[in-house]
A and B are shown apart, each in its own frame.
Chain A
Amino acid sequence: DGGITQSPKYLFRKEGQNVTLSCEQNLNHDAMYWYRQDPGQGLRLIYYSQIVNDFQKGDIAEGYSVSREKKESFPLTVTSAQKNPTAFYLCASQARGGEAFYGYTFGSGTRLTVV
């Protein structure tokens, strides 16, 4: 079945450490996104990529980094510069092309906790 796989589901990080969240999709989607969700708030965009080897900052990119070396993969690194990284992280993908418009497909998320 096609979909998006995020791993791990739960992640614990010590202060000062970098951690990388995995996001893999087998939907052949061009665009991929990373969102952060905090309690009582909507999702906020961290980074997005519309094509391999290219990505753009979203609204809250500080303290995060990404890469898009393969179409199916869009890992997110939470660096030590991110002062409040404890949150729920969601990855999404979307097919784009021509006049057609498709909804976004989301992964099941990674819950990151700083200990």
Chain B
Amino acid sequence: AQKVTQAQTEISVVEKEDVTLDCVYETRDTTYYLFWYKQPPSGELVFLIRRNSFDEQNEISGRYSWNFQKSTSSFNFTITASQVVDSAVYFCGPDGGNKLVFGAGTILRVKS
């Protein structure tokens, strides 16, 4: 069975601070993908990234970066120079084929 742990229930930062959201997963699949989604107050989930389990290179996209460490089953997400618009609930999870497995989510509040 697949499982995701997002240990940080809620994080509050002041604008322009860097913030890292932790994600630890469990899966028995040898090949899988990992995702991060953002859920703003509107409710719709916004796709941020998907990473193949064979690719352990870190990835950077603008202010966003992701650190994938297969040895510790972690896929952490860092926002650099946070902005108020980053305030949302963030979900991570693996996709073993037919479905996404979501963690409970981390609420990020960025204050101006």
Which residues of A approach B to under 8 Å, CB–CB?
A: 33, 35, 40-45, 48, 50, 56, 58, 88, 90, 92, 101, 103-109, 111
Contact = CB atoms under 8 A, between A and B. Distances in A.
A103 B99 contact: no
User: SS class of chain A's interface: helix, strand, loop or mixed?
Assistant: strand
Contact of A43 (B9, B33, B42, B91): B91
Interface of B: 4, 9, 33, 35, 37, 42-47, 50, 52, 91, 93, 98-100, 102-105
B99 A106 contact: no
Nearest to A88: B43
11 contacts: A42-B104, A43-B45, A45-B99, A45-B100, A48-B99, A58-B99, A88-B43, A104-B45, A105-B47, A108-B43, A109-B44
Contacts, number: 51
Contacts of B33: 101
Contacts of A40: 9, 104
Given A42-B104, A90-B43, 9 more contacts: A41-B104, A42-B4, A42-B91, A43-B91, A88-B43, A90-B45, A101-B33, A101-B50, A104-B100
A104 B47 contact: yes
A95 B8 CA distance: 32
Nearest to B47: A103
Contacts of A92: 45
A43 B43 contact: no
Contacts of A106: 37, 44-46
Contacts of B102: 35, 42-44
Q: Which 10 A-B pairs have the closest CB atoms?
A: A42-B102, A106-B45, A103-B47, A109-B43, A108-B44, A43-B102, A45-B99, A42-B104, A42-B103, A103-B50
